[in-house]
Amino acid sequence: MPRDDGAEPACWLCGRPLGRKREWHHPVPKSRGGRDVVPLHPICHRTIHACFDNARLARIGWDRAALSQDAALNRFLGWIANKPPDFHARTAPRR
């Protein structure tokens, strides 16, 4: 998903530049009628799904600020902020 401002594409969740690997996320889950996708780092994608079920993601939709109000996701975003684009670590299981 190229940006028209000449900058590297960024992760929809954390805002860091995307690396070699990227995944596509439906902010509104496909099971809830979502069609549009956004690019994410694999670790960001796994963390979203570890923190939220599809019903909650459908209620939140495209509101990244609402996602970041979740304590666990907010801690993750602070921790991941200075990591390189292709950084990978195990993701905590769904709570």
Mean pLDDT, the chain, rounded, equals: 89
Tally of domains within the chain = 1
Examine residue 65 and state whether it is found in any structural domain, yes or no: yes
Mean pLDDT of 5-9: 68
Examine residue 27 and state whether it is found in any structural domain, yes or no: yes
Q: Which helix (H) or strand (E) holds 40?
A: strand 38-40
The reported pTM is: 0.85
Q: What range does the domain containing 70 cover?
A: 23-80
Examine residue 63 and state whether it is found in any structural domain, yes or no: yes
Examine residue 93 and state whether it is found in any structural domain, yes or no: no
Q: What is the pLDDT of residue 3?
A: 42
Q: What is the pLDDT of residue 1?
A: 38
The answer to whether residue 87 scores a pLDDT higher than 70 is yes
Examine residue 67 and state whether it is found in any structural domain, yes or no: yes
Examine residue 43 and state whether it is found in any structural domain, yes or no: yes
Contact, 91 vs 47, CB < 8 A? yes
